[in-house]
């Protein structure tokens, strides 16, 4: 009888050990996800709830289009990830750097680069440097109503919409905003993760 009790006790311990070994990976993953919170979970950009920022009908005019060409909005590029910047047509040094960064960020995605469109929303009638247009051939340049943009796009405190890069998903949802003077290398990591994780666009 004593021997049977010992065997039963030993069997229970073995069963518990097997359960513990099997459960260990799951327990560890929960621990790292909820307690350690690895850096892989974080985004550099600020995540936005698109329900709070529905895309308006911007009725923009494509740079170089004929006067009688129909107005278009960002919905014309739906199906692609849009990296959007906003600025005056004068496009000072900071604007030019942002355009360069966006171009390089798209190129850095390699074979995935065609899933991304570069968009410059121009807020006035200031003349645009021809060389700048040539340097950023392929970027979508639209003249739009600045009031409509201000009513739509969220900013950080003490910033304006021209300080940020905005990301719109292929379904037309405004979903991320990058801070003023954002680090291009960190944006690159965000984009790479999004493109890997997403089956759309």
Specify whether 25 is located in the same domain as 102.
no
- Does 71 share its domain with 11? no
**pLDDT digits over 25-77, tens only?**
444 433 443 344 444 457 999 999 999 999 999 999 999 888 889 999 999 99
- Top-confidence residue, 128 or 23: 128
Per-residue model confidence (pLDDT) at position 107: 97
Which residue carries 């943009």 as its tokens? 149
- Same domain, yes or no: 119 and 22: no
Domain count, the chain: 2
Q: How large is the average pLDDT for residues 98-122? A: 97
Host H or E run for residue 3: helix 2-31
pLDDT score for 11: 66
Residue range of the domain that includes 96: 46-197
Same domain, residue pair 97 and 126: yes
Residues 116 and 174 grouped into a single domain: yes
Task: Give pLDDT, residue 66.
Answer: 86
Same domain, 14 and 112: no
Q: Could you give the CA distance from residue 110 to residue 92 in angstroms, rounded to a whole number?
A: 29
| DSSP string over 133-200 | HHHTTT-EEEE--HHHHHHH----TT--GGG-EEEE-TTS-EEEEEPTT--HHHHHHHHHHHHHH---
Same domain, 98 and 146: yes
pLDDT at 114 over 80: yes
Residues 60 and 32 in one domain: no
Written as six digits, the tokens of 165 are 């890069």
Lowest-confidence pick of 15-24, 49-58, 67-76, 87-96: 15-24
Whether 73 contacts 61, CB under 8 Å: no
Of the chain, the end-to-end C-alpha distance in Å amounts to 69
Q: Are residues 20 and 111 in the same domain?
A: no
Cα–Cα distance, 102 to 133 (Å, whole number): 14
Q: What pTM was estimated for this model as a whole?
A: 0.79
Whether residues 150 and 119 share a domain: the answer is: yes
Q: Which residue has the higher pLDDT, 112 or 67?
A: 112
Residues 27 and 66 in one domain: no
**Has residue 14 got a pLDDT over 80?**
no
**Per-residue pLDDT at 21:** 54
Residue of 60, 101, 92, 82 lying closest to 162 (CA atoms): 92
Pair 150, 76 in one domain: yes
pLDDT tens sequence across 140-187: 999 999 999 999 999 999 999 999 999 999 999 999 999 999 999 999
The CATH number assigned to the domain holding 110 equals 3.40.30.10
CB within 8 Å of 187: residues ≥ 6 apart: 44, 45, 101, 105, 165, 178
């Amino acid at each position: 009888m004593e021997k049977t009790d010992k065997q039963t006790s030993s069997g229970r311990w073995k069963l518990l050990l097997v359960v513990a070994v099997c459960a260990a990976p799951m327990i560890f993953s929960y621990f790292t996800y909820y307690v350690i919170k690895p850096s892989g979970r974080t985004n550099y950009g600020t995540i936005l709830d698109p329900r709070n920022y529905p895309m308006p009908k911007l009725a923009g005019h494509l740079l170089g289009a004929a006067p009688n060409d129909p107005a278009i909005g960002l919905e014309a590029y739906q199906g692609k990830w849009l990296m959007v910047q906003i600025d005056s047509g004068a496009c000072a040094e900071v604007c030019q750097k942002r355009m360069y960064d966006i171009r390089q960020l798209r190129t850095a995605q390699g074979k995935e680069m065609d899933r991304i469109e570069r968009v410059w929303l121009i807020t006035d009638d200031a003349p645009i440097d021809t060389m700048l247009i040539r340097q950023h051939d392929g970027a979508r340049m639209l003249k739009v109503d600045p009031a409509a943009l201000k009513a739509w796009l969220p900013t950080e405190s003490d910033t304006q919409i021209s300080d940020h890069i905005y990301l719109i998903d292929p379904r037309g949802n405004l979903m991320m905003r990058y801070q003023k003077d954002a680090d291009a290398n960190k944006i690159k990591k965000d984009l790479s993760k999004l493109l890997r994780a997403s089956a759309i666009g």
